[in-house]
Structure 1
Amino acid sequence: MRVLSDADVASLLDLEALLPVVESAFLAQGRGDVERPERPHFPVGVGLDDTAPEEPLGTGLVMPAYVHGSEYYATKLASVHEGNAARDLPTVNATIAVFEARTGLPVAYLAGTRVTNARTGCIGGLAVHALARETPIRLAVIGGGAQARWQTRAIGAAVEVEDVRVYSPNSREACADDLREAGFDAEAVDSPAAAVRDATVVVTTTPSTDPVFDGDDLAPGTLVVAVGAYTPEMRELDARTIERAGLLVADVPEEALTVGDLADAGVTEVPPLSAVFEGEVGRSSGEEIIVVESVGSAVLDAATAGWLVDRAESRAVGTVVEL
């Protein structure tokens, strides 16, 4: 089997080329042409912290998926440890095991954190390409971590970005510096309102349990892409944002409806993001506020991992080992 380190994955990734791979995976998911079992998640680290022995230190997740017709299926093993920020470690860590769909034989084992970040960034890139009211866009990013950077890069691979304003309580300056190094006209601002005001696209990338901006600060026609919340306890968007939205869509509706952003606002039904790519739903006017709620899907991991494996084999990247 082929082992791909994070450096190997980095050498293979191309966000512009990955965007259509992720879009195809969304279309297959929307048409029911995938296998995507429920992803179990469970607390880990209980009993390891002497000061709070009953509290978990993180969450483990198992995410299997298969896209019909693909040569591969994959399972991602992931973890989310919010305390890692204080340890100068990534909050989200993952590996991905890839197998032949024809035989079940193992094909590859990948460092998966960069894969997760890239495919999640492509969700924002595809959503902005399909739903932004105009281009170039003025982008507001709430959050200053890894996903803030990946969302901006993937959006920049999909559409022209005029400028970026970043707000995060602690890391906005570092994030803006990194984005400027990547070629964006980026500025750190001192409040969520300063970031959101006059933006045409707002992306939220935080693990917050409370809304991260005031929905009344959104300009007419703004597209909001929320990628941070994924549990009922987490919430990035307030009820006013949901109330003002003329269109709500979600990458995985049945899971997104349980997240605080939508559940706390009483939303009970949303169309899938794939319906946007199919041309079944979309922007009705330049004044319409649109919200895209994203919780992520193992289908995107499987599609991205398979694409990377093919690129690795054609370019002889990685280390081949015998199990």
Structure 2
Amino acid sequence: MRFIDAATVDRLLPYETLVDVLAAAFRDGMVQPVRHHHTVERAKGAASTLLLMPAWTDFTKGSASSKGHIGIKIVTVSPDNNACGLPAVMGQYLLLDGETGAPQAIIDGQRLTARRTAAASALAARYLARADATRHLICGAGALAGELAAAHASVRPLRSVTIWNRSPDKAAALAASLRDKGMDARATEDLTGAQGEADIISCCTLSDVPLVRGHLVAPGTHVDLVGAFTPAMRESDDALMARGNVYADTLGGALKEGGDIVLAMQSGALTRDQVMGDLHGLTRGEIAGRTSSDEITVFKSVGAALEDLAAAIAVYEALDDQPIT
């Protein structure tokens, strides 16, 4: 069995490759049961959360390989970890042989998740962002923000990246890091003005109040909403959802867990008919993506287990002749 660390994930999963890998996974489909969510109570301190996200090759399809793979992501969320200098969220991905169940690899779950999440947004942008999009605004400066910049640059001719964050120092630090990688990046404290100048807006925050305002977004903008992951969280307001054609990574997940969609539908600002479809439909050609240069498109991502499995298979198969540990 191989142990694949974060650096190896980065090296073996360039976005130009990973976006195509996810496109094939959404087009062909995989089996992904409802994720398991368990609360781990403690006598002292905050409870932890255990998340289990399984997926496997659809062996019932005639086109499926005879073996395929089974995979499961194991994630723990431990709020008290900050006090002891550990990340609150930790995870690993276990990849198994689809025929025998034999373990094949344990993969760094945090890096795998970050890269597949950014790649899914870039895949959506391939269908939904204008082909001439050059200006990218990113709301948030966490670990995912830099990945979103790199992933979108792999599918659109981006010339500039603007970073906004509630902490200006963190935005400035990320912008400097992106410049070191050759990107034209800057930080801003003017979120209002930056929204009207962007061709693509990505949000990767834990906000429960709207950051992207519909009346500020210019015609033709593509909005990528990644951060909010519960029905009570949102990064956009009702006005944006009412103006835009809305898509999701998976309809089942987004209609249940995507707060931007759920809250806008509850208020009546968004109707079910305005939710055009998901990455399954886009990659299969069942629904249209962007159809005009002035429409506003919105992509809501909540994450899908097939993204993890597809990325895990890709990094496992891409391994060179490294010693097996």
- What TM-score do you get using the length of structure 2 for normalisation? 0.88
Written as runs of structure 1 = structure 2, the 5 A alignment for 1:8-23 is 8-23=8-23
Q: Aligned residue for 2:321?
A: 316
The answer to whether the 8 Å contact 2:92/2:110 transfers is yes
Written as runs of structure 1 = structure 2, the 5 A alignment for 1:1-323 is 1-29=1-29, 34-44=30-40, 46-49=42-45, 55-56=46-47, 59-68=49-58, 69=64, 71-80=68-77, 90=87, 92-170=89-167, 171-245=170-244, 247-258=245-256, 259-266=258-265, 267=270, 269=272, 270=275, 271-279=277-285, 280-312=287-319, 315-317=320-322, 319-320=324-325
The answer to whether the 8 Å contact 2:131/2:156 transfers is no
Instruction: Decide whether aligned partners of structure 1 residues 156 and 82 sit closer, same or farther in structure 2, where only a CA change above 3 A counts.
Output: farther
CA distance in 2, matches of 1:13, 1:149: 15
| Secondary structure, counterpart of 1:303 in structure 2 | helix
Instruction: Decide whether aligned partners of structure 1 residues 287 and 80 sit closer, same or farther in structure 2, where only a CA change above 3 A counts.
Output: farther
Instruction: Decide whether aligned partners of structure 1 residues 136 and 288 sit closer, same or farther in structure 2, where only a CA change above 3 A counts.
Output: closer
| Secondary structure, counterpart of 2:105 in structure 1 | strand
Q: Deviations over 1:77-128 (max 9, x none)?
A: 1234577678775554320111111111111111111110101010121122
Letter in 2 for 1:98: L
Instruction: Decide whether aligned partners of structure 1 residues 136 and 255 sit closer, same or farther in structure 2, where only a CA change above 3 A counts.
Output: closer
CA distance in 2, matches of 1:149, 1:86: 26
Bigger shift: 5-14 or 87-96?
A: 87-96
The answer to whether the 8 Å contact 1:67/1:303 transfers is no
Identical residues among aligned pairs (%): 33
Letter in 2 for 1:250: A
Cα offset, 1:47, TM superposition:
4.5
Letter in 1 for 2:55: A
Cα offset, 1:17, TM superposition:
1.3
Q: Aligned residue for 1:52?
A: none
Bigger shift: 300-309 or 88-97?
A: 88-97
CA distance in 1, matches of 2:127, 2:77: 30
The answer to whether the 8 Å contact 2:133/2:199 transfers is no
Letter in 1 for 2:202: V
Letter in 2 for 1:180: R
Cα offset, 1:199, TM superposition:
0.5
Letter in 1 for 2:281: A
Unmatched runs of 5 consecutive residues or more in structure 2: 59-63
CA distance in 1, matches of 2:2, 2:189: 46
CA distance in 1, matches of 2:82, 2:137: 23
Q: Aligned residue for 2:61?
A: none
Letter in 1 for 2:284: E
The answer to whether the 8 Å contact 2:250/2:280 transfers is no
CA distance in 1, matches of 2:42, 2:190: 36
Letter in 1 for 2:203: T
| Secondary structure, counterpart of 2:182 in structure 1 | coil
The answer to whether the 8 Å contact 1:204/1:228 transfers is yes
Instruction: Decide whether aligned partners of structure 1 residues 234 and 81 sit closer, same or farther in structure 2, where only a CA change above 3 A counts.
Output: farther
Instruction: Decide whether aligned partners of structure 1 residues 28 and 162 sit closer, same or farther in structure 2, where only a CA change above 3 A counts.
Output: same
CA distance in 2, matches of 1:109, 1:130: 33
CA distance in 2, matches of 1:161, 1:86: 39
Q: Deviations over 1:149-171 (max 9, x none)?
A: 11111111222111111100112
Equivalent residue pairs, number? 307
Instruction: Decide whether aligned partners of structure 1 residues 239 and 106 sit closer, same or farther in structure 2, where only a CA change above 3 A counts.
Output: same
Letter in 1 for 2:27: L
CA distance in 2, matches of 1:298, 1:292: 18
| Secondary structure, counterpart of 2:261 in structure 1 | helix
